[in-house]
Amino acid sequence: MNTAKRRTVIAGNWKMNFTPAEATSFINAVKPLVAGKDNCDIVFCAPYVTIAAAQAAAEGSNIHIGAENVHFAEKGAYTGEVSAKMLRAVGVDYVIVGHSERRQYFAETDYTVNLRTKAALAEGMKVILCLGEVKEQRLAGITNEVVAMQTKLDLADITAAELKNVIIAYEPVWAIGTGLTATPDQAEETIAVIRATLAEIYGEATAETVTIQYGGSMNEKNAAELLAKPDVDGGLIGGASLVPEKFAAIVDAAQ
């Protein structure tokens, strides 16, 4: 973990879990476990309807509450969607964009991921931009090409100044919610490809400043090994972010 140049970010993705009451109980339980753990930023990305309850429970703590997606239009006829301006209006400063479940089940593409990223950045939000290869691509030996292409398309027309608010989450799709984890070496190697692609676009000095997380069945048992890699700057965590003790153990591993 490179804490010298980059901020480590440990983020939970609650997905479609937790009512407002459950979110309140969860935050109240995790808060004391992560208090004072200032070597990393701590974020929970919540379903829209639980954001307010999670924020209220997290108030005054070192926990940030984010959203799980954002639409690219400012307003208009987009039934069911929520804009960056709306999220900002309720004090949300982090948002996940391009999660593989959004790409897989809701037909989001690199083009719309790029638009959503730009919309969130324009409102001054921090974006956790997810990308990663599917199993067939890893087996075909084209992981590096896939993540390089996604990096370029998802960040198209995003300036170096805007990039300061982008956190990239490298999430091999075959590892998400499957219990399979990339080995620390696989995570390190692929993150190095993403960083080299950032260097191509923005120059090496800027690329070195971008936080790149690993996500994919990170848990309390494997986090220390993954986070020990020099290019792994944190984690995006699904399943283990629903259990206070498991999530807190990952935060401990990042200290």
Looking at 68, 101, 133, 171, which residue is catalytic? Answer: 171
Looking at 68, 99, 133, 188, which residue is catalytic? Answer: 99
Site residues for ligand PEP per CB under 6 A: 13, 171, 176-177, 215-218, 236-239
**Helices within 106-183 (DSSP H only):** 110-122, 135-139, 143-154, 160-163
**Minimum distance, C-beta of residue 177 to ligand PEP, in the bound complex (Å):** 4
**Minimum distance, C-beta of residue 59 to ligand PEP, in the bound complex (Å):** 25
Cβ closer to ligand PEP: 215 or 244? Answer: 215
**Minimum distance, C-beta of residue 18 to ligand PEP, in the bound complex (Å):** 14
Cβ closer to ligand PEP: 177 or 203? Answer: 177
The answer for residues whose C-beta is within 8 angstroms of residue 85's C-beta and 6 or more apart is 74, 75, 123
Q: Tell me, rounded to whole angstroms, the distance of Cα 219 from its chain centroid.
A: 15
Cβ closer to ligand PEP: 202 or 235? Answer: 235
Instruction: Confirm whether 171 is a catalytic residue.
Output: yes
Cβ closer to ligand PEP: 137 or 217? Answer: 217
The answer for residues whose C-beta is within 8 angstroms of residue 33's C-beta and 6 or more apart is 244, 245, 247, 248, 251
* 8 Å CB contact between 68 and 45: yes
Q: Is 237 left (phi over 0), alpha (psi -120 to 50) or beta?
A: beta
**Minimum distance, C-beta of residue 222 to ligand PEP, in the bound complex (Å):** 10
Tokens of 18: 């937790």
Q: Which residue is nearest to ligand PEP (CB)?
A: 238
Angle formed at CA 102 by CA 112 and CA 73, multiple of 5 degrees: 35
Catalytic site residues?
99, 171
